[in-house]
Structure formats: structure tokens, C-alpha cells
Chain A
């Protein structure tokens, strides 16, 4: 619990500091004397908060193993980034609306002029450019489904928008320009946000921080499942089973943005393997990956497999078998009982079943079951109880399509399983 709330607590502290400072600069009675000054004060608060949160969110554009741990999972981290971005955007949308009110009390013409860019006052114009840019880019992010690599490219320009926002907040006469503390506080967050944001968006590639691997072999397992084996070019990567990595393939016919994949090989091997089912544009284009293709790998991330001293059931839906493959392949002799349930449409899809059954025959406490939905219908919590004799008092690991995981989770909870005993791999966050 503590670690889950920690980022929120930090966020509240970071955003309260400038507000408290702002409130102490002048007696609050003066800030809220009449309707106009109250609205202006709200305008200042929304601007100050929106800017602080924007800067913090740029810092949070960097997926790092530190954030992976701090947020207990990269998908929580990304959800937080999305949530914080929406919050900051909403605040900044209200920023000019609150400020325009005092001009409305002069005339609607004055108010209209305030909302339009003009050559006399660059500071305001920068602010308008920044807000318009945000409306366009975040409008795309929130309301239009465009191709992932196009969205990813467009989203990098949030950094450019942030530069306009910084220019606006420092050139305009305000409490930021009047008060040294506020000025340095906002300046500090702006510069950290700007440098980390532009590092992630534009300069990261120059530093070559990724592990480099070369595709050694591409195994076509069936019509739409591939297994790719990667050999480290220089240094090997340490990981634990159940973790995932971001891979960027450098080659013709493959889009060059990174995508997340669970590692499916054993931790003891130097080469890493990933299994891919062609679902979208990108995974389909992976047919162009050949032996010799360079793969840049970022990671490893995630802490899916807790490996507690408790009976376990692993439930895989389709290609969701990948983290369990790594876990099974890395399995040492244990005293705890582990059941793996591999859920698929039909036998043709069960590409890893033979290998898993072989591991099961070698390890006495590891049992493998399969479930074909074309024969028996969708898997249910009740069916799982029958297979494993019990569902309570054990750790349940789920990896598969989101609907599959949600449905089983709610059934398990109805059957009296505690939510903390259910673990998910949610790598569908992108």
C-alpha cells in the first residue's frame, strides 16, 4: 500500500509548495476581494498548478526501472502519466477562462482581444500557441485512434509545446516573475522537465543506452505465432522470469518504435527469446525480421512473478503464455505445487504445449493442463477450481487478453479469493 500511494504523496507535495508560496505572497483577502480578483486568482492557481504538473509529467515520460519499481509496475506508471497529463491539460484550459473574466467586465471586445494572439505581447502569444498545441496533440491522444507510431511521433512534440509554456510563464508579469522563490521553483521543474522530456523524445537514441541484440533465429511456430531468438551483441542482460522488455527492430519493413514483449526464455540463457502473435500492424510486420536484424532492447521491466512460498496456479490465455514460458523454463525443483493452465481456441494454437508437458514430466510438482475453448467453451473460475482442487490459499497468476483476465478475476473474487492473491501481467498498456 505504501509504495502505491507514494507517487501521489510526492505529487501533492510538489504541487502544494508553489500554491502555498503564492498564497503567502499577498494577504488572501486581497486575492479574493471581489469577483474579478477571485477569478484572476483562480486563473493564477490553474496556471501555476498546470505548469508544475506539466513539468512533472515530462519527467514521467521517461520509463526507467526506478519508476517501474516506484509505481509497482510500468502500466501503473503509464496510467499515472495519462491521468496527470489530463489533469494538467484541464487546469491549463481553465487558466485563460478565469483570466478573461476581468476583461469581460470592461467589454466583450477587450475579452476577445485577450484571447487572440497579438504581436505586441509575445508572452501571451506564446501561451496561446502552447495551449493550441496541447489541444491538437492531446485531442489526438485522447479522441482519435491513429496508428501507434504516428501518435508516438506526434506526442514527442509535447516537449516543443512545453518550451512555449515556459516562455509564457517567465515572460509574462506575474507572481512567477515577481517572486524569487516561485521563479526558481518553477524554473527548476521546468528545466528538469524539459531536459528529461527532450532526452526521452529526441536525444535518447544518441546516447545508445539500450542493450544491443542480433536476431539469431526466427521460428515460425504456426500461421500467426513467431518465436524470435536474440543473441547479445556485446553485453548480456540480467532479468528475472516474468519480466518484459521493449524492443526496437532496426531494419527494412519494420517500424522503428519500441514495443513491449514478455521474455519467454529461461533466466539462465544468454540468448533471449520472445514469442509474438500477429495481432496489429506492427506484429504483422515482424514477419520481415530475419536472422541478422539488429534489435535494441530496453529493460527489463516488471515484477509479475512474486515467487512466494505458496501453492500457485498460472493461467495463460493464448499468447499470454510468454511470461509463464520463461517461468517454466527457469523452474528449479521446488516443494510448492504449481499448476499451469494453458487456455487456447484449439489444439493448432497450442504451440508450446509439447515443450511445457516435457518440463512437467521432469519436475514433479509442476503440472500442465490445457483448455480448448472451441471444445469446452470459455474457461471459468469453477472449471479452474476443479482442475486445481482449490483456488483459495494460493497465488493466482493471470496473463492473457484484458477481457479474459477481468472475467476470471471477478469470478475468483466471487468464489472468495482475495484480490491481493491475484497477479496480472498487463502488457497491453500501449
Chain B
């Protein structure tokens, strides 16, 4: 067992050193980049795709159609989000999100409990999580989709980009 521990320790130190070195050096070089612009293009694509498939309004019926993890829309506080591309990155695991695909996820989002039961831990998402969520914003509930809105959304994100990563306000790593 001591050998296994030694190997584990060795792997641990190698990986941690590699990530810290790469991550912090990387940061020096790419200080200006931010998450906002990169995900913005995906939102733009989503909306363009929507128009192409003939979707007119972001109705509850329409939201309900996007109820799988390969195509997942959420309704949170009257806003519609397409979080499909975020699935693998959710700190709470993708499993917690899939239960709410195609549904009103307002309570689940507020309580971090996919089933919004009273047994949930009832902790709200962080500011950083909210900023991340904005990147997946499609529009408001029952809003008509047109090219103008796409441009508006893009303008909004461009004029108000996410701050570069200055620290972690995220409180939802998963154990």
C-alpha cells in the first residue's frame, strides 16, 4: 500500500505543478481574453439556428421541446437560456441540470436542488454563476425572435463584457 501511496503522491505533485505552472503562465499571456466573447458567438449561432428552424416565439411549448442533455433549454425567472454547451462544465455535475431541461428551473437554480424539494441545501448561485448564465441567454419568455434581438444581445454582451478572471467568486465546486 505504501507503494501505491508513493505513486499517488508523485502523480499528485506532477499534475498540480503542471497545472499551476501552465495556468499561471497562460494567464500572463492571455490576460485580455474573457469568457464573454467566446460564448457570445455560440449564443449567436443558437439564435440563427432557431430562426432557420422556423421558431417564432420562445413559448413554454417551445422550451419543453428542448428537454434532453443534447438540447437543453431552461426557463429561469422569465428568461430562456440554452445551456446545452455548458453541460460538461457545470461544477454541480451535468446530472443536476438535466432534470430541469425544458422546464421552469427558477426554483432549482435558486436552491441548487434540481427537484426543488425542501430537503435541498437551499444555497443560491454565485454572482459569477449568474454572469456565466448570461452567456447562454436566448431571450425572454414568449418573446418573438428576430435578427434585431440577436444583434441587441450581441451588442449588450460586447458593451458589457464579463470582467476578466480576477478571482473566484464561484462557490459551487462539487465534492
Q: Which of B12, B88, B96, B170 meets A93, CB within 8 Å?
A: B12
Which residues 157-175 of B sit at the A interface, judged by CB distance below 8 A?
A: 165, 167-175
Contact with B along A303-327 (1 / 0, CB 8 A): 0000000000000000000000000
In whole angstroms, what is the CA distance A35 to B168 when docked? 24
CB-CB contacts of A325-339 with B at 8 A, as 1s and 0s? 000000000000000
Q: List 16 A-B contacts (CB under 8 A).
A: A30-B98, A31-B93, A33-B94, A37-B87, A43-B175, A86-B4, A102-B88, A108-B23, A109-B24, A109-B26, A120-B169, A135-B9, A138-B5, A168-B175, A173-B172, A173-B174
CB pair B174–A172 under 8 Å, yes or no, is yes
Query: Is A350 interfacial (CB-CB < 8 Å)?
Result: no
| Smallest Cβ-Cβ distance to A51: which chain B residue | B175
- Taken residue by residue from 102 to 134, chain B's Cβ proximity to chain A (1 for < 8 Å, 0 otherwise) reads as 000000000011000001110100100000000
**Complex partner residue of A36 from B88, B121, B168, CB under 8 angstroms:** B88
Could you tell me the distance between the alpha carbons of A111 and B96 in the complex, rounded to whole angstroms? 22
Q: Which of B1-30 contact A (CB under 8 A)?
A: 1-2, 4-6, 8-9, 11-12, 15-16, 19-20, 22-24, 26-27, 30
Residues in A with CB closer than 8 Å to B175 are 43-44, 47-48, 127, 168-169, 172-176
Closest B residue to A180 by beta carbon equals B119
B89 within 8 A of A: yes
Is A205 in the interface zone, CB < 8 Å from B? no
**Are A37 and B26 neighbours in the complex by a CB distance under 8 Å?**
no
**Range of interface residues on chain B?**
35 or more
Q: How far is the CB of B35 from chain A (nearest CB, A)?
A: 8
Interface string of B27-46 (1 = CB under 8 A from A): 10010000100000000000
The total of chain A residues at the interface (CB under 8 A) is 61
* Known interface pairs A90-B4, A94-B8, A178-B119; 18 further A-B residue pairs with C-beta atoms within 8 A, sorted by A's residue number: A27-B95, A30-B95, A33-B88, A37-B95, A43-B174, A44-B175, A89-B8, A90-B8, A94-B12, A100-B19, A105-B89, A109-B27, A112-B20, A113-B167, A120-B126, A123-B173, A135-B12, A179-B119
Cross-chain contact B23 with A111 (CB below 8 angstroms):
yes
A-B CB contacts (within 8 Å), total count: 157
Residue in A closest to B27 when the chains form the complex, CB atoms: A109
Nearest B residue to A27 by beta-carbon distance?
B95
Q: Tell whether, in the assembled complex, residue A115 and residue B16 are in contact, meaning their CB atoms are under 8 Å apart.
A: yes
Whole-angstrom distance from the CB of A231 to the nearest CB of chain B? 43
**Cross-chain contact B69 with A120 (CB below 8 angstroms):** no
**Whole-angstrom CA separation of A108 from B26 in the bound complex:** 7
Tell me the chain A residues, 85-121 only, with Cβ under 8 Å from chain B. 86-87, 89-90, 93-94, 97, 99-100, 102, 104-116, 118, 120-121
Residue from A102, A107, A121 within 8 A of B26 (CB atoms): A107
Cβ contact within 8 Å between A113 and B112: no
Chain B nearest CB: distance from A21 CB in Å?
Answer: 14
Question: For the complex, is A40 an interface residue (Cβ under 8 Å from B)?
Answer: yes
- A66 lies within 8 A of chain B by Cβ: no
Closest to B91 in A: A102
Q: C-beta contact mask, A14-56 vs B, less than 8 Å → 1, else 0? A: 0000000000001100110111110011011001100000000
- Min CB–CB distance A304 → chain B (angstroms): 26
Q: How far does the alpha carbon of A220 sit from the alpha carbon of B173 in the complex, in Å?
A: 64
Given contacts A105-B89, A112-B19, A142-B5, contact A97 B95 (CB under 8 A): no
Residues of B within 8 A of A113 (CB): 23, 165, 167-168
Chain A residue at minimum C-beta to C-beta distance from B169: A120
Report which residue of A90, A105, A123 has the largest number of chain B beta carbons within 10 angstroms of its beta carbon: A90
* A138 surroundings in chain B (CB, below 8 A): 5
Mark interface residues in A394-425 (1 if CB within 8 Å of B CB, else 0). 00000000000000000000000000000000
Whether the Cβ atoms of B173 and A114 lie closer than 8 Å is yes
Contact indicator A107/B23 (Cβ below 8 Å): yes
| A108/B19 in contact, CB under 8 A | yes
Decide if B78 is an interface residue (CB 8 Å cutoff): no
**Judging by beta carbons under 8 Å apart, are A177 and B121 in contact?**
yes
The answer for the CA separation of A139 and B5 in the assembled complex, in Å, is 10
- Would you call B93 and A40 a contact (CB within 8 A)? yes
A26–B92 Cα distance when bound, in Å, is 12
Q: How far is the CA of A93 from the CA of B52 in the complex (A)?
A: 49
Q: Which residues of the partner chain A approach B9 to less than 8 Å between Cβ atoms?
A: 93, 135, 139
Known contacts A36-B89, A86-B4, A173-B123; decide if A112 and B22 are in contact (CB<8 Å). yes
Which chain B residues lie closer than 8 Å to A82 at the CB level?
A: 1
Asked if A124 CB lies within 8 Å of chain B CBs, one says: yes
Question: Chain B 70-98, CB within 8 Å of chain A: the 1/0 string?
Answer: 00000000000000000111011111101
B170: A residues at CB distance < 8 A:
120-121
The proximity string for A residues 368-387 relative to B, scoring 1 for CB distances below 8 Å and 0 otherwise, is 00000000000000000000
In the bound complex, do residue B1 and residue A115 qualify as a contact, i.e. CB atoms below 8 Å apart? no
**Bound-state Cα–Cα, A172 to B113, Å:** 14
In the complex the two chains form, is B174's CB within 8 Å of A40's CB?
yes
The answer to whether B20 and A120 have CB atoms under 8 Å apart is no
A121/B168 in contact, CB under 8 A: yes
A83 contacts partner chain B, Cβ-Cβ < 8 Å: yes
Residues of B within 8 A of A174 (CB): 174-175
- Which residues from B are CB-within-8-Å of A124? 173
Nearest B residue (CB) for A124:
B173
Tell me the complex Cα distance, A176–B112, Å. 13
Cα A309 to Cα B87 with chains together (Å): 70
Nearest Cβ on chain B to A95's Cβ, whole angstroms: 8
- Docked Cα-Cα span, A26 to B20, in Å, equals 33
